[in-house]
Amino acid sequence: MQALSEDVADLERLTRVLVAVAWDSAHAAPRGVTFPQVRLLVVLDSLGRVPCSRLAEAMGVNASSVTRLADKLEAHGYVVRGEDEHRRTVVTVEVTDTGREVVAGVVDRRHRGLAELLAEVPVTRRSAVSAAMRDLLSAAEAAPGVPTAGPGRL
Read off the pLDDT of residues 73-124 as tens digits, 9 standing for 90 and up. Answer: 999 999 999 987 778 788 899 999 999 999 999 999 999 999 999 999 999 9
Any domain includes 126:
yes
Characterise 81 by phi-psi region: left (phi > 0), alpha (psi -120 to 50), beta (else).
beta
- Could you tell me if residue 151 is inside a domain? no
d(CA 99, CA 102): 5
> pLDDT tens digit string along 29-48?
999 999 999 999 999 999 99
The answer to whether residue 100 is domain-embedded is yes
- Residue ranges making up the domain that contains 72: 6-142
- Say which CATH number the domain at 94 has: 1.10.10.10
Tell the burial category of 37 from Cβ atoms under 10 Å away from its Cβ (0-12, 13-18, 19+).
Answer: buried
CB-based contacts of 71, cutoff 8 Å, min separation 6: none
For the beta carbon of residue 12, count every other beta carbon within 10 angstroms. 10
In a domain, 148, yes or no: no
pLDDT at 149: 57
State the total domains in the chain.
1
In a domain? residue 46: yes
pTM of model > 0.85: no
- Is 147 a domain residue? no
What's the mean per-residue pLDDT of the chain? 90
